[in-house]
Structure 1
Amino acid sequence: MSIKKTIQFYADLADGRGHELVSVSNTETPSQGTVTIFCKNCNNKFTTSAVSYQNARKTGCPNCKAKAVQEFWTGKSRTKSPEETAKQAVIIKHKQKLRKEKSLAYANLQGPEDLKQKLLSEPNPYNDFIVTHLDKPVVGKLTEGSTPLTLKGLEADEVGPLLGKAKLEKHHIIPLHAGGPDVPWNLIYLTPEDHIKAHELRALVYNEPGDRYAVRLRGNGTNLSERRLEANRLGDQTRFEQGTGIYAPGASAKGGRIGGAVKSHLKDLKHASKMTDVVSSALYEGSRWKHQKTGVVVTIKPQTVFTLPQLVDKLIEALPSCPDKDLLSQAQTTTITCNLARVIKKQRTSAYGWTLL
C-alpha cells in the first residue's frame, strides 16, 4: 500500500530541491492534482502534475532543465557530420556482410532438434554445457516456440532457486555475432552466473571477440544474483517511499488492464493448465461443433485453440448473421465459456445453438 502524499510532503520535497510550494489544486488528495512551484534558482513559477514533479529525476523545474540542456550543447553539434554518417554506414554494412557470411554455416538448422543434434555432434566444453542446461526444467525452457514452462515434478526447494533467487537472462546459443539465427529456438534462459560461464567457455573454445567482450563487460560474476536482488530491494524501497512505479496511484489497475490486453502463447498455455482435463483435452486435441439452426459445422484442428475464448472467436467467425451470433458477440465472455465448457463435459447438450459432435 502506497504512502498518502500530503501537502506537507510536497512542501518538504520542494524545499529540498531549492523550490517553494505555492499551491496545490487538489487539497484532499494532492497526488492526484497539480502543484505550482516557485524555483529559487531561476526565479520562475511553473505548474505541473504532482506525480510528474514527485518523479522528476533532478529538480523538476522545466526552466532549469532547458537552461542545462542549452549549456550542455553550446558549441556542440546535435547531428552527425556527413563524414561521420558515411563512416558509420560503412561499418554497419561491413558487419551485416560478415554476419550474413557466417550465417551460411548454420543455414541447415531449421529448428531446435537440428540445433541440439549439432551440439551433440560437436562435443566441446561449451556445447556440453549448453546441452546439459537444455535438459534442465524451467531453465532453458522458457522461450516461446520451445517447451512450455512447467513446474510439475519439482519440489518447492527446487523451484525457489530457479525462479525466486535467480533472475534468468536470455542467451543466444549460437551468438548473433557468430552468424547465429535470431529465432526463439536459438535462445536459452540462464542464471547470471551461468550466462557469464557460457560466454567464458565459448571464448575458450572459439576465441571470438564477441564472447570476450561479453565477459569483460560483465566483469566478475561472483554473487551476481545476490547483488541484483539487493539492488531490486533498494529500488523497491525507494519506489515505496516516493509512491512511484507499482506504488503510484492507480498503477495496479492500469497494470491489470495492460496484462489482460497483452496476448501470448505462453499465457494461453498457462490458462490451459488450469482447466479440467476434459476441457483441456477437447481444445488441445481438436473438436467438431455444429450449429443446429444454420447447420454450420466448425472443425477445430489439434493444437490450434488453447483457451475457451479462442474457441468462442472461432464459433462467432463461422456463423452467418443470426440471433445466436449477436448473442455470442454481446454476452459476457465468462458466461459463454462456462456454458461451452458444460457442453464439453456433457453437462448440457448445447449452448447458443452449438453442439459437440
Structure 2
Amino acid sequence: MVTLITELKKIVEDRGHELVHFKVGKKNPDSVPQVSIIQLKCTHCGNSWATRLQVYLSRTSTSGGCRQCYTKNLQNPKLYPNSPFQQRQDTLDRPARRAGVQKLRNTNKKGQYASIRSREDLIKFLQQNSNKHNDYVLPLVLRDTNFPKRRNELPPGQYSFHHVIPLHDKGSPDSWNLIYVTKEEHYVVHKLRFEVYKQQGDSMAIRATQSDFEKVSNPASSEEILEARETAKKLSRRRTLLLRRNPQTLRAIQEGMLWRHERTGVSVLIKPDSVETIQDIKELLIANLPEEDWDRQKMLSNISSSNNYIRQHVDTVFKTDDFKIKKPRQRAYGFVVQSLNFGKNNF
C-alpha cells in the first residue's frame, strides 16, 4: 500500500509536524510506500523521531504520533481521564487510610452505636446494658489494657483481634473497639452474642472461630485432618492412574514383566497381576536401583514425565499389530522390559 506525497504532507501539517525525510515508491514517484521509514519533527515540542508510515497513519490520538507530546498529554485528565498518570494521582489524592475503613466509620455514625466514640464510652455501655454477652466481654475489655499494642508482640497463633461491637452490626473499625482475645474466648464471645442478639453475622463468626479454637485446643485433630486430606489426595491420584491404563499396560500387568537395567545389571521381576499401575512399576524399579544411581535420581525428580517414559516403553514392547505408537521408546531410564510370556515377546 502507498500514500500520495501530497496527502502525506497534508496529514503531517494538520498534526503540527514537519516531514523531514521520506522515500518515494519505485513504481510511482508521487507516492510513499507505507512500509517505508519516514522522519518527522514536532513543531509543538521540537521532538524528532523516525517511524514507519503505516504506524504513523494509525496514530489517531491528540498527540498525532509524537511520543513526547503523548507523555505530556497523559497528565491532562480531560484528554486521558484513565491514564496511568491520572490513576497514580488519584491514588495519591486519596485519604491516608483505606476507603473501606472510612465507609465503615460512616456506617457506624448512622447506626445505633453512634454515641460510643471511645473506650470509656464502650465500657460504660457494657456496664449499663447487662446481659450474658456484655458481662462476659467487659472483663476482656478491661484486661486488654495490659496487652501489647502490636499483634506481632503476642505469641503467634494464640490470640485474635475481636471487635467488641461487630462490624456487621455497624460497629466502629477504630482501635478503641478492638481487643485481643484467645481463640477460645473469641469463639465463646460470638456464641454468647448470637444467643442474645440472634444476628446472622455472629452465626457465621461462630463457625469460623470454632475451627480456629479446635486447631489450638486439639492439635492432634488438625493433624488428623491434614492426614485425611493427604490420604484422599493419594486415593484420587490412584483412581486417576487406574483410569489411565491402556490395553498395552493391562496386557503387561496380566502377562508379568522382567525389567533389566543395562548399565548396572539389576533385574526386577514383576509377576502377573502383582501390580496395578505404571506408578507401581516405577516404584519397584526405583526400589531396586542403588541410591547413587542417576537413573534412580531422574525417576525421583521427574514425577510425571517418568511415568510417561515407562508407559511409552511398555507400549512399545507390548503393542498389538493394530496399535500405532506415536513415540516408540526402546528403553526407559536404562531399563528394558520383556514379557514373562516368552513365546510372544523376546529381546
TM-score, length basis structure 2: 0.32
TM-score, length basis structure 1: 0.32
Highest relative contact order (Cα 8 Å, sep 6+), 1 or 2? 1
Compare CA radii of gyration and give the structure with the larger one: 2
